Chain A
Amino acid sequence: MGLIESTGLPGDPAVVSHASPNWVTTRLDFLMNWARKNSLWPMPFGTACCAIEFMATAASRYDLARFGMERQSFSPRQADVLICAGRLPFKLAPVIRRIWDQMPQPKWAISMGACASSGGIFDNYAMVQGIDTIIPVDVYVPGCPPRPEGLMYGILLLQKKIQGESVTDGALRADRPVRPDGLFLPAERVDELSEPFGNSVHQTRSA
């Protein structure tokens, strides 16, 4: 997505050397990715109605365990994929950031629903306009809330993405900490991502 910028710090994706892929690494990739994608442990970060759909996805009718997710990890230290199910107020921004930082690599994030992905209908003073201004996101699931089928499709997309990863790609596993200015993305990009859209520009307001 072109969001990664070089900071020159150790661990920066831009300064990690890139070994070229060969027979050994591609076989290794295949095995590792196969194992990783089929044993994703989700860290459920449920804040709103999306969490209800997430629970339905995990329950017997839709049975998330079919995809290797039988263990919900309620500790970020034993989790692989953070699923933000619901809106994220600014007050929770440092919390989800800390949970993300506590998760060990390799880790992925799914932004479930309109609010987590864009702020949704909550274009107001209290709400983060998309969690991708706080943490990197791999898969966005649309819907308000998404049906369990939608979330499962997102998870399958994530598995497809994981299957395409390579150990020779140093940028994949590089941590992207909060920048020295206290933001995760450059300020102008946060403003751009948070711009009003759709109906939210026509809201009635008294001020």
Chain B
Amino acid sequence: MTPAVAAGPSASVAALRAAFGPAIRRHDVVAGDTIVLVDAARVHDILAWLRDTPGQRYDYLVDVTAVEYRDRERLLEVVWFLRALERAEDLRLKVELAKDGPLAVPTCTDLWRGADWLEREVWDMFGIRFSGHPDLRRLLMWETYAEGHPLRKDFPLRGHFSRAEQTRQALGGAAEKHYSLEELSIADAMHYLPDDMRERLAHGHHGEVE
């Protein structure tokens, strides 16, 4: 059965405004989906409230992603896609970040374990940090990738380095560098790693390579 496209915004918007007041900045309905723009400082509270409040119960985190618009005046957006499985209802949450400000939002890995890799991908591709994330390493590019965050608009399509330099770095890096301590201990490949990397992994210092 295809649910009818709702004419107005989701009922959750009114409930959110009642509970959080000015932290809910505005809402929008696009193709039947409700998008709610909220304060970055309150986004974790709002996500937790949406997950746990009876009548809301957005229990499934579909995706976490970010958007940078071609229009340079527009702010960076972080987007959370939520779904209430029982009611088959969707809600989209957005937070705006100024490009020259600190690019950080709170993690929601404590609410949904599945947010782990989603947030790592956003960090990898956009350079947005998720404070409180247990293991914020790059996900798609390798740990020592030094060219920046590829999905930002100021990132050249072919990358910052020459093709020769990219090839040299790719070939110079051992394949083991792509994996985490846990993955390496399974494969018993720790002894292939460079000393400094083994040191960092052994003490739990992941990622944060600029």
Contacts and interface: CB of A to CB of B under 8 A. Distances in A.
A197 interface: no
Interface stretch (A41-49, A106-114, A152-160, A181-189): A181-189
B164 A187 contact: yes
A206 B166 CA distance: 22
Contacts of A187: 162, 164-165, 168
Specify the main secondary structure of chain B where it touches its partner.
loop
A5 to B, nearest CB: 15
B45 interface: no
Given A133-B167, A207-B154, A95 B70 contact: no
A190 interface: yes
B173 interface: yes
A94 B171 contact: yes
Contacts of A126: 141, 150
A190 B163 contact: yes
Given A123-B157, A125-B150, A206-B153, A182 B172 contact: yes
A183 B173 CA distance: 11
Contacts of B163: 129, 133, 190-191, 193-194
B155 interface: yes
Interface string B171-199: 11111001000000000000000000000
Given A188-B164, A191-B163, A90 B158 contact: no
A200 B178 CA distance: 29
B63 interface: no
Interface string A116-142: 000000011110110001100000000
Interface of A: 90-91, 93-95, 97-98, 123-126, 128-129, 133-134, 178, 181-184, 187-188, 190-191, 193-194, 196, 203, 205-207
Interface of B: 70, 140-142, 147, 150, 153-159, 162-175, 178
